């Protein structure tokens, strides 16, 4: 018996329903669904879609609240180069890149691992990059209530790279700021720090 165990869990009824839809799509584009390489593709695709959209079942604010601590530190906290992978809601093709998040505490800090977690919560949905930026920003601002929050996302979109204009080297950057990051000096410090490579 193989020692391999798949630890992911899926609702069987929902998985089967999505599987049947993928089977129909494969047939409609002209492929042979009984070909060896495609026998398990509808099920794999169904599970992949459920995994890539699991953010609908997660609550980002609850994740942040699970690791908030009172602390007097009141300088900028930055977590940068957070990998993100999402699906464009217009074509359901991937976009991927990095998020950079900063906040200035106002009596409370949050466990650093929770910031990448909330990026994943919002990224694992059908998205546009602009909304993703705003959702991350607003969640931190409303839950942690810091002096200020900043979010910058840099991403490449497969809908631009594989189809349409087919520009392989284009990168889209979105940003959002709340509170003290509306001050030019604070915002510029953040932008300088995320663009630097500290040794």
Catalytic residue ranges? 88-91, 129, 157, 159
| Phi, then psi, of 190 in degrees rounded to 5 | -60, -50
Q: Report d(CA 91, CA 175) in Å as an integer.
A: 23
């Amino acid at each position: 018996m193989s020692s391999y165990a798949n630890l992911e869990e899926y609702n069987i009824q929902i998985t089967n329903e999505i599987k049947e839809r993928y089977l129909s799509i494969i047939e409609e584009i002209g492929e042979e669904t009984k070909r060896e390489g495609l026998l398990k593709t509808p099920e794999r695709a169904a599970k992949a879609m459920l995994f890539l959209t699991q953010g609908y079942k997660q609550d980002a604010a609850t994740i942040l609240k699970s690791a908030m601590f009172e602390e007097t530190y009141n300088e900028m906290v930055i977590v940068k180069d957070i990998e993100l992978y999402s699906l464009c809601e217009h074509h359901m093709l991937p976009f991927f890149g990095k998020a950079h998040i900063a906040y200035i505490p106002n009596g409370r800090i949050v466990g650093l691992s929770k910031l990448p977690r909330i990026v994943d919560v919002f990224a694992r949905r059908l998205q546009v990059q602009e909304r993703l930026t705003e959702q991350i920003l607003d969640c931190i601002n409303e839950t942690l209530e810091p002096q200020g929050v900043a979010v910058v996302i840099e991403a490449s979109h497969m809908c631009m790279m594989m189809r349409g204009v087919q520009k392989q080297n284009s990168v889209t950057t979105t940003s959002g700021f709340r509170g003290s990051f509306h001050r030019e000096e604070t915002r510029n410090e953040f932008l300088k720090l995320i663009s630097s490579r500290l040794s």
